[in-house]
Amino acid sequence: MSASYPVVDIHTHMYPPSYIKLLASRTTVPYIYQPTESDSPDTPDPRLIILASDDDPSRPKALRGRPVDSTYSSFDQKRAFMKRHGISCSVISLANPWLDFLDPDSALTTAQEINNDLDSASAESNAAPSNSGLKLYAFGCLPLSAPAKDIVSEIHRLTTLKHVKGVIMGTTGLGKGLDDPNLDEVYSALASTATLVFLHPHYGLPDSAFGGPEVVARSGHVLPLALGFPLETTIAVSRMYLAGVFDRHPKLQFLLAHSGGTIPFLAGRIESCVAHEREFIANGGSKQGPQRSIWDVLHSNIYLDAVIYGQPGLKAAIEAAGSVDRVMFGTDHPFFPPLGNEKDSKWLSVESNKGAIDGCLPQEEAKRKILGGNAVRVLGLDL
Amino acid sequence: MSASYPVVDIHTHMYPPSYIKLLASRTTVPYIYQPTESDSPDTPDPRLIILASDDDPSRPKALRGRPVDSTYSSFDQKRAFMKRHGISCSVISLANPWLDFLDPDSALTTAQEINNDLDSASAESNAAPSNSGLKLYAFGCLPLSAPAKDIVSEIHRLTTLKHVKGVIMGTTGLGKGLDDPNLDEVYSALASTATLVFLHPHYGLPDSAFGGPEVVARSGHVLPLALGFPLETTIAVSRMYLAGVFDRHPKLQFLLAHSGGTIPFLAGRIESCVAHEREFIANGGSKQGPQRSIWDVLHSNIYLDAVIYGQPGLKAAIEAAGSVDRVMFGTDHPFFPPLGNEKDSKWLSVESNKGAIDGCLPQEEAKRKILGGNAVRVLGLDL
């Protein structure tokens, strides 16, 4: 709690009231279902149904998806969580699936409303003396289903919101992935405004990649969350790299969730497969391969969070990032809460990430950078 | 070349003549197509067509799949490759797809024939004075499409073949994956005979995981090879772990190709997702989760090869394995050959793996273990 240096959580989600309202107004995925008295006399928490696979028609709606309690939307609870874990600043972001699903017509105004909400809620929270110096900032969201000019205009407008320090984005882009050439205009705007993109998974892998839905169902959410999420990020970033996005936009700045999926571990293999690919022009083929080394991209265009729950992964992340200056602490709050009655104690999910940082960084200076110093520097936080 | 300690390559493939004959006798995947004079006047190399996606009917057969030159089947060329790279011993294994595709009726006799071939070719090679002390051993193959009793009998018979030091296996098991309870009998036989299983990918991920076949096609084989292979291994081992295979068979010994896919990097996340899974009995759910920590499994049941082409991955592999004693050098020969005219020089794919070992292990002793000492100890090689 009383660290003498800032501890900044750059991976921490919220559904602000305007987003909860939006999901609650919908009846198709993603949506929030509010159980009625006829579902249960106990008026349990609303259910958050964000994936097609959550919306299993054989289950009552009151049991689909996951409970969305007030930790998703309450700034008080966010601050209580921060206090309990010694976090001095949270850069909050909308949880998935952001605005990927919106009608093109309403996407821009919805994005503006939510981004304004995140900015003003952060401003209010920071101004309140009762909040004992805890600071909030936010990653904004983009209206990716809207026409490109609207996306670009929101990127520019976000630079005027004082508490918005970048944007969060999923892996679908405009619907065809992050290697879609139609994103070039968006990438140009992100690069020219020096907007950091926090890249986060949502869609995972198709069930068939795991052996089918029966295989997945055997272990609850473990396969989609433990593997599907990081492998989605791995594929998305690899596609960007292979398609030359970082060649065309050498100033893009991405922060990858979950320490980059598995990119730090696989970067060497990707590099080797590129060097040995017969179809790339460099080897006499007809296809254009990436022009820059993946290590150069990792060292110049990519930051990694430290949400990796163990030392082997964290060390690889730091090593692949090229320096402790490119890795940043995060919690993934409010996901992975304690499941027992220990709600007032420290969260295992947070402590295992903090423990990995403590364990593999004996140097106090390096630890401070990852726990907060890097976020302050990269995002320009006023703490 | 003249290292004063043994350098052992535990990831090096061959198609011995009996296997080439088998593939050449087939006309459906997997098969070898021998181009005729009408295909080309130059009588080019036969084509190896091992994946359904290789067998594209819109291309002439002589252009499908990949050229399978004599490096796949020539022991002379294997030894020349070893000499060039200072490798004193190779533990050769059939390349994918092994015998996964055989009719149950012929599977056992085919496996016996190929295993006998591998054993006797190794024996002959080792006995020839002209081979200047280069040693060959082999991983055998199992008739996995045969009835379980045949698989078990071949596992026992392999212990009598002096040059066979374990088995290579893919991720499909009996057809339903490595978490199939019907494999228990096979696992018991593997454990009771202390047979090391070299687990190797072949099937990759479905194209849909990458965004569809058009996305995959844009960068040749990079996505399936750089990501599909290691992610297949990651999923297969995670399924085994989650299904309690290592709980029921605590003596199983697996050597994972490509440094475990991405298991070393994701182990912490897998552990955390298991601990937070509401559906597991420990957390009030109805499903049995794994009983042992994934770190315990990594430290007791799993060896990793060092085929990872970079220091960040190799360090994570060593760290996740718990010690330098559980990681072993490999080359993946004859795959990833130089594509230019430098056929007589050292291979980039080998040098990048050796370079990673040199770079991250300043201690000579640790380097010797990974380059050969561990393989000698674990496989009981007589060098």
ipTM of the complex: 0.96
Domain end position, chosen among B72, B98, B116? B72
Which chain A residues have a beta carbon less than 8 Å from that of B339? 276, 278, 283-284
A12 with A54, same domain: the answer is no
Q: Is residue A145 part of a domain?
A: yes
Residues paired with A94 in a beta bridge: A14
Which tokens go with B322? 């718990």
CA dihedral A165, A171, A172, A176 (to 10 degrees): 120
The C-alpha of A157 sits at a distance from chain B's nearest C-alpha, in angstroms, of 32
Query: Does the distance separating the beta carbons of A352 and B267 come in below 8 Å?
Result: no
CB atoms within 10 A of CB B355: 15
**Statement to judge: residues B318 and B208 lie in one domain:** yes
Task: Identify whether A43 is part of a domain.
Answer: yes
- Check CB contact under 8 Å for B238 and A231: no
Are residues B242 and B257 both part of a single domain? yes
Whether residue A134 lies inside any domain: the answer is: yes
Dist CA B292 CA B250 (whole Å) = 10
Q: Is the peptide bond before A30 cis (omega within 30 degrees of 0)?
A: yes
Chain A neighbors of B210, CB-CB under 8 A: 235, 239
A1 assigned to some structural domain:
no
- CA dist B90 → B9, B155, B276, B307 (Å): 5, 21, 43, 14
For the stretch A354-375, what's the b/e string if a residue is b when 16 or more beta carbons lie within 10 angstroms of its beta carbon?
bebbeebbeeeebbbbbbbbbb
Number of folded domains in chain A?
A: 2
What mean pLDDT do residues B179-199 have? 98
Strand partners, B199: B169, B256
Which of B72, B99, B116 corresponds to the end of one domain?
B72
B1 occurs within a structural domain:
no
pLDDT at A2 over 60: no
Of A264, A269, A348, the CB nearest to B230: A269
Distance of residue A223 Cα from the nearest chain B Cα, in angstroms? 8
How far apart are the C-alpha atoms of B271 and B276, rounded to whole Å? 9
Nearest residue in chain A measured CA to CA from B176: A211
Chain B residues with CB under 8 Å of A206 CB are 206, 208-209
CATH (domain of A249): 3.20.20.140
Asked, for residue B315, whether it belongs to a domain, the answer is yes
With a cut of 50, say whether residue A1 has pLDDT above it.
Answer: no
Boundary (domain end) residue, out of A49, A72, A95: A72
Say if residue A184 is in the same domain as residue A332: yes
- Residues B42 and B143 both lie in one domain: no
Q: Search chain A and give the residue with CA nearest B235.
A: A210
Q: Same domain for B81 and B180?
A: yes
Q: Binning pLDDT at 50, 70 and 90, where does residue B225 land?
A: very high
As a whole number of angstroms, the distance between CA B102 and CA B117 comes to 18
Q: What is the pLDDT of residue B342?
A: 67
Residue B129 lies in a domain: yes
Range of the domain at B66: 19-72
Whether residue A179 is found in the same domain as residue A258: yes
**Residue B308 to residue A268, Cβ atoms within 8 A:** yes
Q: Are residues A121 and A247 in the same domain?
A: yes
Say if A245 falls within a structural domain.
yes
Nearest CA-CA partner of B143 in B115, B178, B177, B182: B115
A63 shares a domain with A84:
no
Q: Are residues A370 and A325 in the same domain?
A: yes
Residue with the larger pLDDT of the pair B40 and A301: A301
Closest approach of chain B CAs to the CA of A60, in angstroms?
17
To test the contact with chain B by mutation, choose from A205, A210, A276 the residue with the greatest count of B C-beta atoms within 10 A, namely A276
Nearest to A20 by CA among A36, A12, A37, A32: A32
Nearest-Å Rg of the Cα atoms of chain A is 21
Q: How confident is the model over A48-58, as pLDDT tens digits?
A: 998 887 888 88
Picking from B71-80, B184-193, B229-238, which range would have the lowest pLDDT averaged per residue?
B71-80
Same domain, B285 and B295: yes
For A259, name the nearest residue in chain B, comparing CA atoms only: B265
Q: Tell me, yes or no, whether A207 and A145 share the same domain.
A: yes
Q: Which residue of B has its CA nearest to A180?
A: B215
Q: What is the pLDDT of residues A270-328, one digit of tens each?
A: 999 999 999 999 889 999 999 999 999 999 999 999 999 999 999 999 999 999 999 99
